[in-house]
Amino acid sequence: MTAIERALYELNEIDGYACGSSLMHRLDPRAKTIVTLLYIATVLSFRLDSLTGIMSLWIFPILLSALGGISYNRVFVKSLYVLPFIALIGIFNPIFDRRPALTAGHVVITVGWLQFISICLRGMLAVQASLILVMTTGFMKICHGLRRMGLPAVFTTQLLMVHRYLSVLLKEAASMDCARRSRGYGRRHYTPRLWGIFIGQLLVRTVARAGRIHMAMLSRGFDGNAAIRSTMRWSAADTIFLTACAAAFAIARLADLSRLFNILTLR
Amino acid sequence: MSHHYVKFDHVSYTYPNGYRALDDVSLLITHGQKVAVIGANGAGKSTLMLHMNGLLTATEGQVVIGDIPVTPKTLPRIRQTVGLVFQNPDDQLFMPTVADDVAFGPINMRLPDSEVDRRVDMALKAVGAYDLKDRPGYQLSGGQKRSVAIATVLSMEPDILVMDEPSSNLDPRARRMLMRQIEAFDHTCIITTHDLDLALNLCPRTIVMSGGHIAADGPTPDLLADRSLLERASLL
Ligand SMILES: Nc1ncnc2c1ncn2[C@@H]1O[C@H](COP(=O)(O)OP(=O)(O)OP(=O)(O)O)[C@@H](O)[C@H]1O
Ligand SMILES: [Mg+2]
């Protein structure tokens, strides 16, 4: 598998999981969306250098993926794809903040590094929570739930289109890459000019492809509102799930387990 | 139901890049007729099909479907009347699972849930793809995708069925099922194909396209027997 095919596989796997029928899958998309947003808010509400507090929140993605019958391993691997982008956000902290935070033997860890790790961890956890949401619900239903919660159709349809466009882009890239390799006679290095042509072609092809898919949608009566059946019903299970999660997040936040850990590990 | 005719009145179409893909095309297909459109690669068959439900709008001339001229305002009605199966099934399947995809049209038609379910089952059984119901569309083989693509249109129960090379990529059994399906469809049916045998078996009438215009239009057996015509249209 090439890198592109690998990425496509990871993306398709997300949709594959969404077809499951676990406890988590059966919950109302709205409940799961709210819980995910609450979780991300909790993760982001911790102080930047409170590493241990955030660590304690790590338990939730593991727990929720188990409830959803998803291997946490797969979620973790997928979230690694965005790690470079998250790392970019925090990359300057270690450079600017060189105050020592803790020492382990001869190694001194600065506040900056602690913040950097904390940013990466927060990002990963937020992404993992979102992945679990998508893998147990499916992108369509999330959008439909958002729509029912009052988000304008323009946004939800946009979201759907972006999701759809991503897989079209990857598919075109994979088939171009395949064609390139099959006629490349083992050539590995291409000039920047050729790469320019490849990327230009890729964009033109995806736009044309997306145009044809849009035509197919129009010809089946698509009028700007995503068609999905409204079998959404809020049940007692959803209320319980929502309250339990909200309470758990609140406890994790307020009890501030980090205190305890801080005393043990930090100076 | 005699009003489900398809009429092209001196239609020409120029692509945005200036290529004139249809050149003064006039035709009338009446209700219940089965018509094959044949012609070499690039003859303009697909372009012609895209005009039938208003995905492309004629730059000159007019397309009329059963008393309704194809204009931006009439598009919703036109698209319920005319079901179009695309040449490339990858362009037609865009939902997470096969069942979602087949239900897409009926849901857009605002049908009640039970009716949507009935149509999804009916359409999938008709193309022999019922077993694929819960599979994701991107995991299917070329021929399976083709069958499902046809089902996505059948589920809308169109009055006019337009198919762009429906038999490409199908194995003999799936092809036979498709042919039976077309035979059983008692409304208007327009098929582009390179499968001359299918044209001869199913369509009493054939239109031969060449370089964007109609080179011949008549009974299929007569046209397929005309060697010089087929040679001129690069079909031989
Ligand atoms: N999007 C486009 N922009 C510009 N020209 C196009 C476009 N699509 C098709 N054409 C041109 O229009 C002509 C007719 O194309 P069309 O797809 O209708 O052919 P076809 O008869 O369906 O061929 P095939 O048997 O290969 O499917 C071709 O010469 C093609 O190059
Ligand atoms: Mg074509």
Atom of ligand 1 at shortest range from CA of B45: 21
Residue to test with chain B: of A218, A220, A222, most B Cβ within 10 A: A220
* A vs B: CB pairs below 8 A: 73
* Alpha carbons B160 and B31: distance in angstroms, whole number: 8
Q: Indicate if A128 and A244 belong to the same structural domain.
A: yes
Interval A156-168 mean pLDDT: 80
Return all residues near B52 (Cβ < 8 A) that are at least 6 apart.
Answer: B6, B63, B65, B82, B84, B160, B162, B190
Q: Same domain for A123 and A246?
A: yes
**Are residues A130 and A156 part of one domain?**
no
> Is residue A103's pLDDT more than 80?
no
Using the Cβ of A103 and the Cβ atoms of chain B, whether some distance falls under 8 Å is answered with no
Of A138, A216, A231, the CB nearest to B92: A216
Q: Which of A81-85, A164-168, A191-195, A207-211 has the lowest average pLDDT?
A: A164-168
Q: Do A115 and A66 lie in a common domain?
A: yes
Residue nearest to atom 27 of ligand 1 (CA): B41
In a domain, A117, yes or no: yes
Q: The complex's ipTM?
A: 0.84
Residue A112 covered by a domain: yes
Same structural domain, A47 and A168: no
Contacts of A18 (CB under 8 A, 6+ apart): A25, A134, A135, A136, A137, A138, A139, A141, B96
Residues A129 and A251 in one domain: yes
A89 falls within a domain: yes
Q: At what angle do helices A139-148 and A153-182 cross, to 10 degrees?
A: 160
- Residue A104 falls within a domain, yes or no? yes
Do A76 and A32 share a structural domain?
yes
| Residue B50 alpha carbon, nearest atom of ligand 1 | 18
Q: Is there a domain that residue A1 lies in? A: no
Distance CA B142, CA B121 (A): 21
Mean per-residue pLDDT pooled into runs of 10, chain B (236 residues): 82 95 95 94 95 92 92 89 91 85 90 93 92 85 90 93 91 88 88 93 95 95 93 88
Which contacts of A253-258 are long-range, i.e. CB under 8 A and separated by 24 or more positions? A253/A42, A253/A45, A253/A46, A253/A53, A256/A53, A257/A52, A257/A53, A257/A56, A258/A46, A258/A50, A258/A51, A258/A52, A258/A53, A258/A56
User: A205 and A240, same structural domain?
Assistant: no
A221 and A108, same structural domain? no
Q: Does A239 touch chain B (CB under 8 A)?
A: no
Q: What is the pLDDT of residue A73?
A: 93
Structural domain total, chain A: 2
Mean pLDDT, range A141-163, rounded to an integer: 84
Q: Do A228 and B80 touch (CB under 8 A)?
A: no
Domain of residue A124 covers 19-137+233-262
- pLDDT reported for residue A178: 83
Give chain B positions within 8 Å (CB) of A219. 53, 55, 79, 83-84
- Residue A221 alpha carbon to ligand 1 centre in Å: 24
Could you tell me if A200 and A132 lie in one domain? no
Which ligand is closest to the CA of B87, given by its number? 2
Residue minimizing CA distance to atom 1 of ligand 1: B15
- The confidence score (pLDDT) of residue B2 equals 53
Residue A171 lies in a domain: yes
The answer, as to whether pTM is greater than 0.95, is: no
Instruction: Tell me the best of B46, B50, B55 to mutate to test the pocket of ligand 1, counting ligand atoms within 8 Å of each CB and taking the most.
Output: B46
Statement to judge: residues A126 and A52 lie in one domain:
yes
Assess whether A89 and A45 both reside in one domain: yes
Any chain B CB within 8 A of the CB of A19? yes
Residue at A68 is within a domain: yes
- Domain assignment present for A108: yes
Q: What is the pLDDT of residues A167-202, one digit of tens each?
A: 788 888 888 888 888 887 777 777 888 888 888 888
pLDDT at B121: 95
| Ligand 1 nearest-atom number relative to CA B40 | 25
DSSP-assigned letters across all residues of A205-221: HHHHHHHHHHHHHHHTT
Please report which ligand is nearest the Cα atom of B45.
Answer: 1
